[in-house]
Structure 1
Amino acid sequence: MNIKNQIKNILTDSANALGIENLDKLVVSFSNRPQLCDYQTNFAMIVGKPPMELAEKLVEKIGNVEGFEFSVAKPGFINIKLKDEVLNDYANYVDQDEDLGVEQLKEKKLVFFDYGGANVAKELHVGHLRSPIVGEALKRLHETMGNKTLSDVHLGDFGLQMGLTILQLKIDGFVDEFFKIDVDLNKIQIKGVTLDVLNEEYPKASKRKDVDEKFKAEADQITLYIQQQKQPYFEIYKQIKALSIKEIEKNYDMLNTTFDFYYGESDAYPFIEETINKFVDQGLARESEGALVVDVAREGEHIPIPKKSEDEPQRYKNPMPPAIIKKYNGGDLYATTDIATILMRNRDFAPNEIVYITDNRQVGHFEQVFRCCKLAGVSPKEQKLSHVAFGTMNGKDGKPFKTRSGETVKYKDVLNMLIEKAEAKLVENGIIGDKELARKIGVGAMKFGDLSNTVSRDYVFDIDKFLAFDGKTGPYIQYTIARINSILNKANFEGGNKIRVETQEEREIVLAILKLNSSYRVCYDAYSMNALCLSVFELASAFSTFYNNHKILSQTDEERKGAMLQLCLLVKNCLSKALYVLGIDTVEKM
């Protein structure tokens, strides 16, 4: 039941009857002045002169339509108000619909999501938070609207950090057993190496590489050995990877983030040679300073930028630089492994779309990778390759979030900070010792605070604002659901009644559900969840007004009471569905 489409069809019929063209410009949107109307269109202002006259003709032609009121407002808007019977029908339709009125895609597809981006042997830090938060929500959104999905954390397990870590472990004597003559590598386990040790070894090695060229060169060589599966380096690498994955899984579990696959760059290694040969055999690769590169710049990219004044020097748009697919020493780069990974995914799954979720510093990299894939036929023409580039999580000073000493904040420290703060707020409300409830509230606060922002923008991490139990926050939505649970429990209500809209507050609730359900498609098209966050907050606010202005449980008219309780249940279900899509847990009480 798509009310916006019903309105558009009514307007289209009227325009056709009047011989008006340019119907592609007819857009119906929610009113930005809800006190006047529920929907509006500026169609008459775009296609006709004078707009008021055209708008009046359109409305006159429409006449009386059951369920809708059309009117004209200066300087040419057509306003549409929904009658209560339409809202009644819609509310009861949503209440009975298994999808709760969320639009289902007409053409379903398989979408492969690549997010998370954890690195083996390196502790997750605050910079790793946004990718799983955004990626998990987008994946759930696609599933909710009917697509099939697959997801992969795509571990960074073949990069320089592995060479650096293993070299440092070797220097510090942790892996001596692996280098003994005639050793059986199948019977050796790394001793004394824990995650805490790895978290000390890598930073130590990373600092040393910046001042010790010989050390850096040896780490590069070990990285190459790992890529070539040369022993004993490859066995050491495998054991470090297994140790790291256990911790990575725990961290993602805290965030309600799941993956179908824990593949890494190493899984694409068998496809590397074939990938490079695709470019060489088609004459797409050339040698440059000992490396193998692919030209991905397109004709017309190096074009002059118009001057704002005669005195301004001429500037040009820079063309996309060549993509390096093989280093001078024979090693492979991120571009190579990413292209090979796309080749692997297409062989194994043939998804209609592959979506990468990373920070916005990777925009150029993925544009190069996508262009390479299309040039060489690694990705078929009809396949969509998408990159969702997110902004930075900053501190209150507007700079990237760090500790007071200027160090990068650990991933788990951020979550623990939120959980501890949530636990303290629960104690204030008389709830003591419920750590799981605190986790749900703290993590929910983090996720909602993040997803409320347009994905591409930076935002400020404000723990007090995120954890507020009122306003546009995750805890406020969770609290609203808990409040509804309390009402339904006190009434021993199990559902089955008809909803009946009789008051302005009930109108506002159903209109908020309309907006909420339309926001799913907005988020789908934008690859950003902020519209859903806004709509779910508006629905929670509309319910709060309804609850404060009406005594539900003390209603003496049982039919009226049942209708109001059924509306409460519908609000709870709509809010809960939205939180699920956002990757946020609901709570029974707060």
Structure 2
Amino acid sequence: MKKILDLMEQELRQAFEACGYEAKFAKVVLSNRPDLCEYQCNGAMAAAKAYKKKPIDIATAVVEKLTGAGADASGAQAGGADASGAQTGGADAASMQSGSAHPVFSEAVAVMPGFINLKVSGQFLAEYMVRMAAADKLGLEAPEKPETVIVDYGGANVAKPLHVGHLRAAIIGESIKRMGRFLGHRTIGDVHLGDWGLQMGLIIEELRDRKPGLVYFDESFTGEFPAEAPFTISELEEIYPAASAKSKTDEAFKERAHQATLKLQKGYAPFRAIWQHIMSVSVEDLKKNYSNLNVEFDLWKGESDAEPYIADMIQMLVDKGLAYESQGALVVDVAEETDSKEIPPCLIRKSDGASLYATSDLATIVEREQDFHPDRYIYVVDKRQGMHFEQVFRVAKKAGIVKQDTPMIFLGFGTMNGKDGKPFKTREGGVMRLETLIAEINEAVYARIMEDEERTVSEEEARRTAGIVGLAALKYGDLSNQAVKDYVFDIERFTAFSGNTGPYILYTIVRIKSILNKYRENGGIVSEDALEKNILPAANDSEKALMLLISRYNEVLESGFAETAPHKICQYIYELSNAFNSFYHETKILTEPDEARKDSFIGLITLAKRVLETCIGLLGIEAPDRM
């Protein structure tokens, strides 16, 4: 099903071409002056330069052709909007308004200096609603060429609990993955665990100090290593920070950890056995905690999975003359003449032969190319890693690991800060565990539900509902911000049932569910998709505004994924929720005496609910039945 913008542009293209102008000037955009029009075309401005004519003359001719009406340059219509949003026009603005019915537009006006202001036909809009309701995925078109997309997100380190610093990667990446998959792309989410670096050596040596009698540290041991881990997840989560702190003051311990890491990476069996225990205990716990965020991965691979590809990859870089020795290390130059800032060489191997993050990231790309042949890569990582990934992407393309035209997108996200503007901490100043943050926000939502004097849910149901709404508050509070920007985590604002918040969006969906339930209780018949309801042209401005917001659904979803911008979906559903609530307050839906009109209302709000539920699903959020 074509986007409503495409259908409008189709009409404008025909009019431009009929007037002797190229169809490329017929681009239609959402109006930046909704008080004047719903959509606008600014193409006459660009066409004027190409055809050496006044913009208003071109706009007037196009509108005449579009509507089949004659021009009226009396100046009765004044005002328009330019691309920057500034108001234009005045007493001498040329204008022309449709004098006859048009299948798409109820009004088309040419205004000075050459804008075409458009309003959509109520009949056309109502028919578009009916077609959306009946269409698969509400009219979202399948991509012409579905892509295989790798989304690299999560990035947790094993042996550590998830904390607030892991939140953004998880929920932004999950949303991007869901968007790509819903649009029809083969979208693969990979957690890409940190499981192969120095933290492994630190844990091994700390374990040696604590439990020197373990068989892993007995060089004479030749039997089978135990199947059960010599530590629990709680012990493991205490071992790593203790080892990390020790390495900062004990150089000998740090060197032991470094050597243990090298031995692990070279395949030393006892250390590989410890590593397997670390992985099995950690991954089980990580899966549980990610599941609490409604985040799932298709691949649970880590840096270690790239190890088998490293040697051949390094040799290939050497053979191609890209990698060379510098102070004993192996590097690849990635700077280009067009760079506006210094891009240092990419360090591939340290002087002692140890691998680095760049080594495993490049080898991971080799593995992904072999296994999936991706058409697109999306990395959801802290924006402070931007230089690292710029270097890695350049080496990957320079070496021919990835085709030159394959998009490799670095979606760098900002920091979640406290009200003091600094990275979010516990009250004691430490890093907050993610499960603690979730518990606190759920408790805040539960308190809001229980303090509602009109509450109809039991305490038990309130607890269940608080879990759903709390997660929505947390995820929406994050996703509604542009990913690259830092934002302030404000539990009071995020859990509010009004304003641009997750609870407000869910409350709107629950309100629609309540109306539909009352409609059924009063004998009305309506299915989940309301296909038996015919949607009529809008009876008032608020109803038309709701229809216009609904009609933008497929455009928003496509642009949201193309721009890796979940915040666009958040902004859309906030505007849609506002439009529904305005319509709800101005319309007596259930007491409407005209049955055809009442059926139309029910069909429309059901469609609004379906759009909202689809969109929150792409954000990894679900709605309760009651709040």
TM-score, length-normalised on structure 1?
0.94
SS of match in other structure, 1:16: helix
Q: Does 1:514 align with 2:537?
A: no
Counterpart amino acid of 1:36? L
Paired residue for 2:92? none
1:527: how far off? 0.8
Residue 508 of structure 1 and its aligned partner are, at CA, apart by 1.0
Tell me, what secondary structure is at the counterpart of 1:100? helix
The offset of 1:568, in angstroms, is 1.4
Deviation per CA, 1:279-298: give whole Å up to 9, x if none. 01111111111111111111
**How far is 1:471 from its partner?**
1.3
Q: By how many angstroms is 1:175 displaced?
A: 6.5
The alpha-carbon distance between structure 1 residues 157 and 224, as it changes in their structure 2 partners (threshold 3 A), is same
1:346 is aligned to 2:350:
no
For residue 554 of structure 2, give the secondary structure of its aligned residue in structure 1: helix
Q: Are 1:15 and 2:16 matched, yes or no? A: yes
Letter in 2 for 1:499: I
Q: Secondary structure at the match of 2:139?
A: coil
* CA deviation string 1:510-551 (max 9, x = no partner): 101123332112212211111111111111111111111222
Shift of 1:183: 4.7
Q: 1:189 offset after TM fit, Å?
A: 3.0
Q: Show the 5 A alignment for 1:412-431.
A: 412-429=435-452, 430=455, 431=457
Contact 1:268 1:341 in 2 (8 A): yes
C-alpha distance in 1 between matches for 2:227 and 2:613: 50
Q: Which of 259, 263, 266 does residue 304 from structure 2 map onto?
A: 266
Residue 533 to residue 174, structure 1, CA distance change in 2 (3 Å): farther
Q: Give the conservation status (yes or no) of the 8 Å contact 1:271–1:340.
A: yes
Q: Is the alpha carbon distance of 1:318 and 1:497 closer, same or farther for their aligned partners in structure 2, counting shifts above 3 Å? A: closer
Structure 1 residue 480: Cα displacement: 1.1
The equivalent of 1:57 in structure 2 is: 61
Q: How does 1:94-493 map to 2 (within 5 A)?
A: 94-173=132-211, 176-180=214-218, 181-187=220-226, 189-191=228-230, 193-301=231-339, 317-429=340-452, 430=455, 431=457, 432-434=459-461, 435-492=463-520, 493=526
> CA separation of 1:24/1:364 partners in 2, compared to 1, >3 Å: closer, same or farther?
farther
In 1, the alpha carbon distance for the partners of 2:212 and 2:447 equals 42
Report the Cα offset of residue 188 of structure 1: 5.2
Q: Does the 8 Å CA contact 1:185/1:235 hold for their aligned counterparts?
A: no
Aligned to 1:529: 566
How far 1:580 moved relative to its partner?
0.5
Name the residue aligned to 1:588.
625
Cα contact 1:444–1:585 (8 A) shared by 2: yes
* Percent of aligned pairs sharing the same letter: 41
Q: CA RMSD in A?
A: 1.7
Separation in 2 of the partners of 1:190 and 1:174?
A: 15
Paired residue secondary structure (2:478): helix
Which residue identity is paired with 2:151? F
Match 1:543 to one of 548, 573, 580: 580
Letter in 1 for 2:64: E
Q: Could you tell me which amino acid in structure 1 is paired with residue 59 of structure 2?
A: A
Kept in 1, the 8 Å contact 2:208–2:217? The answer is no
Match of 2:104 among 45, 49, 67: 67
Residues 553-564 of structure 1 aligned to structure 2 (within 5 Å): 553-564=590-601
Give the letter aligned to residue 104 of structure 2.
G
Q: 1:503 to 1:175 in 2, by over 3 A?
A: farther
Is the 1:532–1:578 contact (alpha carbons within 8 Å) kept by the matching residues of 2?
yes
In structure 2, runs of 5+ residues without a counterpart are 69-101, 521-525
Assess if the C-alpha contact under 8 Å between 1:44 and 1:52 holds in 2: yes
Instruction: Give the partner amino acid of 1:433.
Output: E
Residue identity opposite 1:40 in structure 2: Q
Q: 1:117-163 CA deviation, whole Å, 9 max, x = no partner?
A: 01011121111000111111111111111111111101100011111
Per the alignment, in what secondary structure is the counterpart of residue 124 of structure 1?
Answer: coil
Quick one: which amino acid aligns to residue 375 of structure 1? Answer: K
Cα deviation, residue 26, structure 1: 4.3
SS in 2 for 1:19: coil
> Any conservation in 1 of the 2:508–2:581 contact (CA below 8 Å)?
yes
1:109 CA displacement: 0.9
Q: Distance in 2 between matches of 1:14 and 1:122?
A: 63
- Residue identity matched to 1:111: V
User: How far has the Cα of 1:25 moved from its partner?
Assistant: 5.0
Q: Return 41-50 or 259-268, whichever deviates more.
A: 41-50
Structure 2 counterpart SS, 1:491: helix
In structure 1, distance between residues paired with 2:464 and 2:564: 30
Aligned-partner Cα distance in 2 for 1:424–1:121 = 34
Q: Which residue of 2 aligns with 1:305?
A: none
TM-score (norm 2): 0.88
Q: Which residue of 1 aligns with 2:90?
A: none
CA pair 98-175 structure 1, distance change in 2 beyond 3 A: farther
1:255 offset after TM fit, Å? 0.8
Tell me, yes or no, if structure 1 residue 47 matches structure 2 residue 47. Answer: yes
How far is 1:559 from its partner?
Answer: 2.0
Q: What is the CA distance between 1:174 and its match in structure 2?
A: 6.8
2-structure distance, mates of 1:248, 1:559: 53
Match among 535, 538, 543 for residue 499 of structure 1: 535
In 2, Cα distance between equivalents of 1:579 and 1:547: 21
* CA shift digits 1:487-511 (9 cap, x unpaired): 1112113231111132222211110
Q: Contact 2:25–2:44 (CA<8 Å) still a contact in 1? A: no
Once superposed, which parts of structure 1, at least 4 consecutive aligned residues long, lie more than 6 Å away?
none
Closer, same or farther: CA 41–175 of 1 in aligned 2, 3 Å: farther
User: Residues 178 and 188 of structure 1 are in contact (CA less than 8 Å); yes or no, is this contact kept in structure 2?
Assistant: no
Shift of 1:365: 0.8
The residue identity in structure 1 corresponding to 2:578 is S
Kept in 1: contact 2:150–2:187 (CA 8 A): yes
SS of equivalent to 2:117: strand
Q: Unmatched 5+ residue regions in structure 1?
A: 302-316
